[in-house]
Amino acid sequence: MLAQTGSDFLTNSAALCDAVLRLRGTALTEELGRIVRAVLNSPLGEYLPADAASLLLRPPLEAVQAANDDAVPSLSQDIYFDQHYFGRFVVSGRAEYSEQDRQHLASLASLAASVLQVHSVAQRTTHAYVQVEAQLQHQAQILDQIHESVLTMDMNGFIISWNKGAERLFGYTAVEAVGRNILFLYDDEDIGFHDDFLESGGRLMEVRRKKKNGEVFWASLSLSPLCDINDRSIGLIAYLTDITERKTAEERIHHLAYYDALTGLPNRTLLTKLVDQALMVAQRNKAHGCVLFIDLNRFKLINDTLGRNIGDALLVEVAHRFRSVLRDQDLVARLGGDEFAVGLFDIGQHFEASMVAQKLLATLNEPILLDGHDLRVGGSIGISVYPQDGADAETLLRLADIAMYRAKQEGGAEGDHVAFYSQDMNQGMQERMRIETGLRNALGNGELLLHYQPKYSIPDGKIIGAEALVRWRHPVRGLVPPSEFIPLAEATGLVVQVGEWVLETACAQAQVWKDAGLPPIRLAVNVSAREFTAALPGRVSETLKRYGLEPSWLELEITESTLMHNIDRVIGIMDRITAMGVTLSLDDFGTGYSSLSYLKRFPIDTLKIDRSFTIGIPEDTNDCAIANTIISIAQQLKHKVIAEGVETVEQLAFLKNSGCDEVQGYLFSKPLEADAFERALRENWLPDSAYRAA
């Protein structure tokens, strides 16, 4: 019987444990009541849980026991565990209960208390875990919703976490990324992972990273330390944002700021920076360096004649040819227009620069074929040397520019030449700048004046006109030779202002002579290529009207080179001028590029034989042949011919016999001031001896 009772107790104990684990609420209460009845073999028995209602109604255990002693026999046992009250077992319905029954009930209550305590702790732990899990899930949702890519990694760079932003940015899912080393996202340029920020964090940098599809992009990367509960660094938190669009815009702006848009070569700004950097290296190594300043010959003629598109294509081809013969470490830049510069710093001796210069010029020997045109350009190169000429980029460029002007002078407008800088060049350039500044002031200070060189008719020796020649009377230097300031005026563009002044002054003087009753003569005014624009006919017409002059008082002298830029446009301008009654003279004929097919279309009145052909007459048979040819052409085209620079009786005799119409030169008169010319005109002055000898 005892064995049976022990077996039932164990069975019911197991049932109690199972009930506590599986059941809740009323079901648990009923099952525990059933178990207590089974253990005590009692018809009545129940489990009273420790809820609010039962606690309020529950009398003290002593009172219940006292009441039971006087009434129907029953047993009651509270269920406690460490002062935690879970409820009470109550049984009744038997005639009596033994001490063993009381012990069984106490044991069952103790077991129930222990199991309920364990279950309570487990419930609280589970609830706390659920709360933590919910909080983590909430944070994960927030992390996934932000646009920024966030990932964490351990101290060795192995990825621990990977949010949705990282998935969108890199194209890898968290399953593909977590557990891999961060290096698989690096571009080839990134070769290391460890850095000082592994402990300190907070570093912000711009890096290149690689997506799953192989695309490389720019990212802004911020790193912060990942710490454990003891605030020890155990890894990194990385925040990445795609900045490719911004970097592309920055690179575009940088390229616009430092590179020539046409050729793609560095511009002057970048060249200066690179040369200065190279000079620092050359200084440490005690090496030589050179700067070459290159100006193309004949480019302006091509650009003006064929248009800007052809000119631009020509510059691109020249840039390509220059780059093709230079080493990778050599610098080549386009400074603007048709000017280039080359920096050489890895050379043993400075004279090696002249070899490079010749290689650059050699690249221009082959014709450049563009749009059906066979184009040829040359170049003039000036060279400055580090350290003797200068120690910085700006100085070397400036001095190489000065040397380039010397090369152009020595080689001529069409010849290729190379010149090294020397001190006398600098002095010459400073003098050039002084003349330029003085000439600008001369226009406003009334320092310019006109001299008039008479033109004579060969058949009757009469003065039929004069060429107006500008002179500059400097307040300190006196009369400045035209050879010093006229080329400078043409090079700087001041020739336009000078030309406007000459036309205005000549017409004003003609008005004075007209009002004085002198017979009309033709005053020849030289017109430069820069002045020969569509605005010229209007300016001439307005000037004549302003001074009340008939067009027969004025003649415009133009050079051959002026006529070779856009022939149809030039002829249109000439037609408008001759339609007024103003005559045109072709100056320096035979020295330029005139084509006979064009010459017959030009509405000119006179061909002028250049002094370079007159001076050799009659000794030089070539000059004689050229003069005869020009006169013959003029006669065939029904143009008059005038020879300039006539200084001897023999020259005059030859020209007269060849059929030349007019002459001017020192044999008859030097250029005269206005008063002297007026006296000569009144006297119809002509040296009798010279005319009779002719």
Amino acid at 225: P
- CA 102 to each of CA 36, 43, 74, 90, 97: distance values in angstroms, whole numbers, following the listed order: 12, 16, 10, 11, 7
Q: Among 80-94, 302-316, 404-418, 578-592, whose mean pLDDT is lowest?
A: 404-418
**What is the per-residue pLDDT across 551-572, written as a single tens digit (0 to 9) for each?**
999 999 987 666 665 677 888 8
For residue 637 the two structure tokens come to 């085209």
Q: Determine the pLDDT at residue 513.
A: 92
**Residue 111, CA distances (Å) to 30, 47, 101 in order:** 17, 14, 15
Q: Is the dihedral of CA 57, 63, 64, 70 positive or negative?
A: negative
Quickly list H helices, 331-470.
352-362, 393-411, 423-445
Does residue 438 or residue 465 have the better pLDDT?
A: 465
Report residue 205: phi and psi, to 5°: -150, 165
Residue with tokens 């222990």: 114
> What's CA 49's distance to the chain center, in Å?
85
Q: Is the pLDDT of residue 354 over 70?
A: yes
Higher pLDDT, 454 or 51: 454
Q: What are 539's two structure tokens?
A: 């300016």
State residue 487's pLDDT score.
78
pLDDT at residue 367, as a whole number: 87
692 has pLDDT over 50: no
* Residues 36 and 45: beta-carbon distance below 8 Å: yes
In single-letter form, the type of residue at position 643 comes to: A
Report, as an integer, the average pLDDT of 260-284: 90
Tokens 């399953």, located at residue: 175
Average pLDDT, the chain: 82
Whether the pLDDT of residue 4 is over 80: the answer is no
Judged against a pLDDT cut of 70, whether residue 70 lies above it is answered with: no
For residue 350, what are its two tokens? 């400075």
Contact between 384 and 396 under an 8 Å Cβ cutoff? The reply is: yes
Residue 524 is predicted with a pLDDT of 93
Taking residues 332-360, report their average pLDDT: 85
Mean pLDDT of 184-193: 67
Spatial CB neighbours of 670, under 8 Å, sequence gap ≥ 6: 453
Residue 619 backbone class (left: φ over 0; alpha: ψ -120 to 50; beta: rest): alpha
Read off the pLDDT band of 55 (50, 70, 90): very low
Average pLDDT over residues 271-281: 90
Give the confidence band of 121 by pLDDT, cuts at 50, 70, 90.
confident
CA 37/CA 43 separation, integer angstroms: 6
31 Cβ partners below 8 Å, 6+ apart?
15, 19, 23
Which has the closest alpha carbon to 450: 433, 469, 426?
469
- Tell me, what's the pLDDT at 3? 42
Q: How far apart are CA 377 and CA 263, in angstroms?
A: 17
* Ordered structural domains, the chain, with CATH: 3-59+72-124 (no CATH), 147-190+199-248 (3.30.450.20), 259-421 (3.30.70.270), 438-684 (3.20.20.450)
In which region does residue 659 sit, left (phi positive, over 0), alpha (psi from -120 to 50) or beta (all else)? left
Round to whole Å and give the CA distance between 81 and 455.
140
CA pair distance 483, 435, nearest whole angstrom: 12
pLDDT in tens, 490-548: 777 788 888 899 999 999 999 999 998 888 889 999 988 788 888 899 999 999 999 99
For strand 44-49 and strand 74-81, is the pairing parallel, antiparallel, or unpaired? unpaired
Question: Which pLDDT band, with edges at 50, 70 and 90, does 597 fall under?
Answer: low
| H, E, C per residue of 503-534 | HHHHHHHHHHHHHCCCCCCEEEEECCCCCCCC
Helix and strand totals (H; E) in the chain: 26, 24
- Record the tokens describing residue 672, joined without a space: 């005269």
Q: How confident is the model at residue 147 (pLDDT cuts 50, 70, 90)?
A: low
Q: 196 pLDDT exceeds 90? A: no
The pLDDT tens digits for 542-552 are: 999 999 999 99
Q: Given this model, what pLDDT does residue 583 score?
A: 93
Residue 644 phi/psi, 5° resolution? Answer: -105, 160
- Beta carbons of 492 and 550 less than 8 angstroms apart: no
Contacts of 37 (CB under 8 A, 6+ apart): 43, 44, 45, 91
The pLDDT, as a whole number, for residue 474 is 87
- Residue 227 predicted with pLDDT over 80: yes
Give me the pLDDT at residue 149, please.
85
The two tokens of residue 397 are 């460029």
Rg (CA), the chain: 54
Which tokens belong to 425? 């060049």
Half-sphere exposure of 252 (CA within 13 A, CB side): 6
Q: Give pLDDT, residue 28.
A: 85
C-beta of residue 603 within 8 angstroms of C-beta of residue 637: no
Confidence of residue 682 (pLDDT cuts 50, 70, 90): confident
Q: Check residue 52 and give its pLDDT.
A: 37
Residue the block writes with tokens 């030449």: 417
Token representation of residue 282: 């050359």
Could you give the percent of the chain with pLDDT greater than 90?
29
Q: Which of 110-114, 165-169, 506-510, 681-685 has the lowest mean pLDDT?
A: 681-685
Eight-class DSSP state of 553 = G
> Helix/strand/coil (H, E, C) string of 285-354?
HCCEEEEEEEEEECHHHHHHHHCHHHHHHHHHHHHHHHHHCCCCCCEEEEEECCEEEEEEEEECCCCHHH
Strand, helix or coil for residue 474 = strand
DSSP state of 59: P
Rounded to two decimals, the pTM is 0.48
